[in-house]
Amino acid sequence: MREARRDAASPPEEVPSSALRDARRAMLGVRSFSVLAALTLGLVTLGALVRAHGAGLACPDWPRCFGVWLPEMDLRVGFEWTHRLVAGSISLLFALAAALVLRDARLRAAARRPIALAFALLALQIVLGGLTVLLGLAPWTVTAHLVTGTSFAATLCWIALALRDAAAPRPRPALPTGARRAVWVAAALVLAQITLGGLVSSNYAGLDCPEWPTCRDGVWFPSLEGGVGLHLVHRTNAYLMVLAIGVALWLNRRHPGVARPLRLATALVLLQVLLGIANVRLGLRIEVTGLHTLFAALLALCFAAALREVRLRPVGGDGTRQRVVIVGAGFGGLGVARALADTPVDVLVVDRENYHAFLPLLYQVATSGLSAQDVTHPVRSILRRLPNARFRMAEVAHLDLGERTIETAGGARIPYDVLVIAAGSTTEFFGNESVERFTFALHHVDEAIALRNHVLECLERASETEDANEREALLGFVLVGGGPTGVELSGMLGELRKHVVPRDFPGLAAAMRVVLLEGRDRLLAAFPESLCRRALEQVRELGVEVRFGAIVESVDPGGVQLASGDRIPARTVVWAAGVRGAKIGASLGVPLGRAARVPVATTLQVDGHPEVYAIGDLALVRGMESLPQVAQVAIQQGRRVAANVQRALCGAEPLPFRYWDPGMMATIGRDRAVAMLFGVKLAGRIAWFFWLVAHIVFLAGFRNRASVFVNWIYHYLTYDLGLRAIVGRTRKPPQGDAQRGEAERSSSKPEPDQRSSDAA
């Protein structure tokens, strides 16, 4: 999660359209039936515990005996009464939710059939429950009760999926006949497995096999001379089921909508088999039966989702497919591609680099905490699992909206039906030529590498020079901008001065100076005031000098000149005071908004061109101009664009974008951070821990996550930044000392046209 700045003011509330009202009503139904499905899973688990404990083990006279589970004046509620209470609550809540859905004509058309099936299963469940009590836990009633309960949970899942389709309609790509049949066969084996499991457990639990689970002879598992018993059939069917699910997953691997629930089903069935083997071999506690049954019910829900997808997909080919071109492989662009993975469109991602950069961690590359490879991941590797997505490495030079084509710098023309511009942003220098020429930006991997090399070279030269003024300038590090980037970079430089410089460059730590300049009266202005004060305290604890109300007038090779007349000697000046939209926005031919950003409607469409969307740092959403330019906004906008593309293919009108703010965070250094997560203010070590977890989760690729985690553990244990090799620079001939300052800046900084990042 990119540490965010909260909106200074909430966007004005708009009158919702009929489509928006319908979508919100449908999503309320989705949440309601999802909760009911979860409660039903708990009910199925409770039923397994009641069956296991009640059938002759803990309460031999079950269901008339309640001495153990509900003693007099004891507040402890037993399994049986809890089971009854939950069952009654589910019945009432289901009736209420179904009535609300059936009142709406649109939702009724989408979900009336699964609701009718659920009512039938609920009625059958109640009848079977009564028969189970009256017949003294008859094996067939127990098994039927388990199967209908699991089927009821699967039907609730089916209702939720039907309502989700009503809220977000999407076309489904065609499915081959073999892939379809494989899912049906696997589903049949799953149903047989649940039925056999109910028969095995009910017959073992105190009825025909009093020594369960150690009994292996008798009626249900006879010797080789007799027939094959239930246990052997159950175990054999389990192996067949594993094979069938594997085949179904393989045949549907290029159809994400079917493959996703099948992947989860594969994991569940493997856990189920391992648990069953352990239960038999080790004689585990009887409560394991509940966990075993819960996995089986979850497996049924997975197949309910897969079967519904299979049933709704056409057989054969998709015919002519629209082409969606995405400019930029950042958070927003990849979010669109992922969300369109199971849509009958062809997706092409175009980016000038062949990697996705995790921009929130660039400052760690610049301070030797991480390598450039740790925060980058090949785009082709990310798109590998998306069957309809392709990548093209090219720089977009021009957009022709009339002809619906984009032109690359190499002269190639790429046609599109839908265009998504997620080209990101670049550094804003506010027209100050000296700032642009003599400062380092931190908006691209090349810039981070150049800054790291420059910082290390300054330390090396400071250790050699005898000139006090030269040493003062070489050890002066000025950061302009008190936002997350400036605060994080200053914190890392403070740790470098505190832990690394004294060991590698004895005698330089005392002379090293880190100055953070902020034009306003506090750091991290988007955070609550209490967290701003805490951040200031933590920054100063690392020896960073913070100046408020400091306006930079000019920068030269020797330092920074402030508007107040003060001058700060420094060879290293990092500009983190603002960003502007990427220059490709000017190619759209529309008047640009603040910071060269493209004005778009709330549906994220460019005015006059409904087939063109702009998202991420480049987009200026009407009515939400103060949205933070962070990864979470770009990701959520990418999902909304994908949903609107799908709605357009179904003939539905687009829905407006609404930002859900999960919070914001900024780290200052080791055990130092501030965070505002879901309205909760955090500071210090706990905020730092949440920052670590969030950034590892959002990194692309397992290798990157593992490498970053190992580097952070190494840094935490050793107080060392281990990636301090000066690499990637171009060798220059020797120059005079008077020329070195300016030459270093011009040779180590990337060219101006390289600063624009296509990552959102």
Catalytic residue positions? 488
From the list 376, 123, 342, the residue with the least C-alpha distance to 254 is: 342
Cα(596)–Cα(617) distance, integer angstroms: 10
- Residue 685 CA to its chain's centroid (Å): 24
From the list 349, 351, 353, 347, the residue with the least C-alpha distance to 376 is: 353
Which residue shows structure tokens 């296991």?
52
- Residue 86 CA to its chain's centroid (Å): 33
From the list 404, 442, 396, 444, the residue with the least C-alpha distance to 422 is: 396
Supply φ then ψ for residue 706, to 5 degrees. Answer: -65, -45
DSSP 311-340: HHSPBS---S-EEEEEE--SHHHHHHHHHT
DSSP 83-113: HHHHHHHHHHHHHHHHHHHHHSHHHHHHHHH
From the list 658, 653, 624, 618, the residue with the least C-alpha distance to 639 is: 658
Which residue shows structure tokens 């909106």?
7
Beta strands 559-562; 567-569: pairing state: antiparallel
The three state secondary structure string of 659-701 is CCCCEEEEEEECCEEEEEECCEEEECHHHHHHHHHHHHHHCCC
Cα(735)–Cα(589) distance, integer angstroms: 46
Query: At a CB cut-off of 8 Å and minimum separation 6, what does 725 contact?
Result: none
From the list 292, 318, 308, the residue with the least C-alpha distance to 174 is: 318
CA distances in angstroms from 559 to 59, 202, 572, 618, listed in the order given: 84, 82, 8, 32
Q: Is 738 left (phi over 0), alpha (psi -120 to 50) or beta?
A: alpha
Whether a cis peptide bond, with omega within 30° of 0, leads into 256 is no
**Is the four-CA dihedral 249, 255, 260, 261 of positive or negative sign?**
negative
Q: How many residues does the chain have?
A: 760
Contact assessment for residue 275 and residue 134, using Cβ atoms and an 8 Å cutoff: no
If one counts every other C-beta atom within 10 angstroms of the C-beta of residue 722, the result is 14
H/E element, 52:
helix 18-54
Contact assessment for residue 172 and residue 342, using Cβ atoms and an 8 Å cutoff: yes
Whether a cis peptide bond, with omega within 30° of 0, leads into 752 is no
From the list 593, 488, 679, 594, the residue with the least C-alpha distance to 6 is: 679
